[in-house]
Amino acid sequence: MAISEGGLLTDEIRCQVWPKLLNVNTSEPPPVSRKDLRDMSKDYQQVLLDVRRSLRRFPPGMPDEQREGLQEELIDIILLVLDRNPQLHYYQGYHDIVVTFLLVVGERLATSLVEKLSTHHLRDFMDPTMDNTKHILNYLMPIIDQVSPELHDFM
């Protein structure tokens, strides 16, 4: 579906396909959020700052009350995933990935999908240092140059 004409253009399709792509069982309950995570997390202040600056990631015209509620859910999802996976480290921009899942599939499914994505596909970018990320980028840029040299200038 992702490579078909039109791709994953609707949220309805994404809700069906994303769990399959990430091999997440939608009938299993997601991890339970612990409200004390905000007090315990070393990342809370940075997550809070990033999420509060994320106004542009929410649909235009969304009521403030609804956006603020979603921002609270976003903070909870991030802190829960980090708490359950201490080998992962928060990085600026991670919240942009998580909010996409939250807006499309809601808090319950987003939590499961983001945890799987983070522990598998984003794992190398969530190390304590940027060393692995730099290493990956050293390989990525030549590939981009081969596929589309004008894209390299954009980056």
Tens-digit pLDDT profile for residues 26-65: 988 777 777 789 989 999 999 999 999 988 889 999 999 9
Looking at the structure, tell me whether residues 96 and 39 fall in a common domain: yes
- Please answer whether residues 34 and 80 qualify as being in contact, where contact means their C-beta atoms are separated by less than 8 angstroms: yes
Is 109 within a domain? Answer: yes
Residue 111, φ and ψ in degrees, nearest 5: -60, -45
Nearest to 99 by CA among 70, 120, 124, 122: 70
Tell me, what's the pLDDT at 118? 97
- Helix spans in the chain (H): 11-21, 37-40, 44-52, 64-84, 94-120, 131-147, 149-154
Residues 25 and 54 both lie in one domain: yes
- Average pLDDT over the chain reads 88
Number of separate domains in the chain:
2
Q: 77 and 146 in one domain? A: no
User: Which band of pLDDT confidence, cut at 50, 70 and 90, is reported for residue 152?
Assistant: low
* Structure confidence at residue 91 (pLDDT): 92
* CATH code (residue 102): 1.10.8.1310
pTM above 0.75, yes or no: yes
Do 88 and 127 meet the contact criterion of CB atoms below 8 Å apart? Answer: no
Report the pLDDT value the prediction gives residue 154, as an integer from 0 to 100: 55
Domain-embedded: residue 60:
yes
Tell me, yes or no, whether 21 and 37 share the same domain.
yes
| Same domain membership, residue 139 and residue 77 | no
Say yes or no: 48 and 109 in one domain. Answer: yes
Residue at 144 is within a domain: yes
Residue among 7, 83, 87 at smallest CA distance from 47 = 83
Q: What is the reported pLDDT for 49? A: 95
Give the integer Cα–Cα distance in Å for 10 and 32. Answer: 28
Range of the domain at 135: 128-154
In-domain check, residue 3: no
